[in-house]
Amino acid sequence: MGKLNCKRASRNVPLFVAGDLSGDLNREMVNHLAICEECDRLAQEFRESNSLLTEACALPEFGAQFYDQIRNNVLDKITRDGISSRPRFGHRWIFASAFALMLIASGVMFLRWRAAPEAPQDLASTTQIAGKTASNQPPESASPLQSKDLPPKTQRPQKPVRRMTLIPPTSQQFQSARNLAAPPDDPQVSPSEIASASEVSSIEIQTSNPNIRIIWLVAANKRGAQEDNQAKSEPEPRTNDR
């Protein structure tokens, strides 16, 4: 450790005079004060001021009555106010418990929300909505309590769902369709097959009105006439009212 200069010594004088230093620093202070008059004078001033403070703040004799009064007041207050020394479940513990419960509850709710599946967007729900729209009646599964005791809820107008159903043709129908597409002089198509294909190829289209379904039928035995008609106009749709 290097030699102590006056600046560092003067910083440590307040601690040195009260014996708060120890080890090397204390020895260096002793050596420095022995050779430095200014620092030694500073140390002497600190000793005097410390001694003056100790003398000035010496505790006066208050007398037994002073202390008796304190004790009696304390005992009176304990008796009068019923102060207990037993540990109580303080307010801060109540707040802490409530906060912890809220935290746990919100955590559980968050986990349940994460675990819940997303709202289904499949055809089944769409069909259900369409069915409700079609019937315009409350579902049969509605509880009797709701239907009897409670006033009927005002139903929100359901947005009509446009649904198009494509009925895949059967193998027989498919074959008949191939026969129709084939040229008339195709040797693979027999007249009996052409006759049996008269009831094939239907396309059903569900309109926005659930009561109206368009069924598009193509008659195979009238292929030639239909080709002529196609050139002139659209095929005649047949509506199926339910």
Least distance (Å) from other proteins to the CB of residue 48? 7
- How far lies 70's CA from each of 59, 65, 116, 223, in Å? 17, 9, 67, 121
Least distance (Å) from other proteins to the CB of residue 92? 13
Least distance (Å) from other proteins to the CB of residue 5? 18
Least distance (Å) from other proteins to the CB of residue 68? 8
The residue among 54, 55, 53, 44 whose CA lies nearest residue 17 is 44
Contacts with other proteins by CB under 8 A lie at 11, 14-15, 17-18, 20, 45-46, 48-50, 52-60, 62, 64, 66-67, 69-71, 73-75, 77-78, 83-87
Our CB check for other proteins shows the closer of 17 and 197 to be: 17
Our CB check for other proteins shows the closer of 85 and 141 to be: 85
* Cα–Cα dist 181/19, whole Å: 117
* Cα–Cα dist 25/85, whole Å: 48
Least distance (Å) from other proteins to the CB of residue 4? 16
Please provide residue 65's backbone torsions phi and psi, each rounded to the nearest 5 degrees.
-65, -35
Our CB check for other proteins shows the closer of 60 and 224 to be: 60
In this structure, are strands 238-241 and 212-217 parallel, antiparallel, or unpaired? antiparallel
Our CB check for other proteins shows the closer of 84 and 233 to be: 84
Burial classification of residue 239, based on how many CB atoms lie within 10 Å of its CB (0-12 exposed, 13-18 middle, 19 or more buried): exposed
Our CB check for other proteins shows the closer of 17 and 180 to be: 17
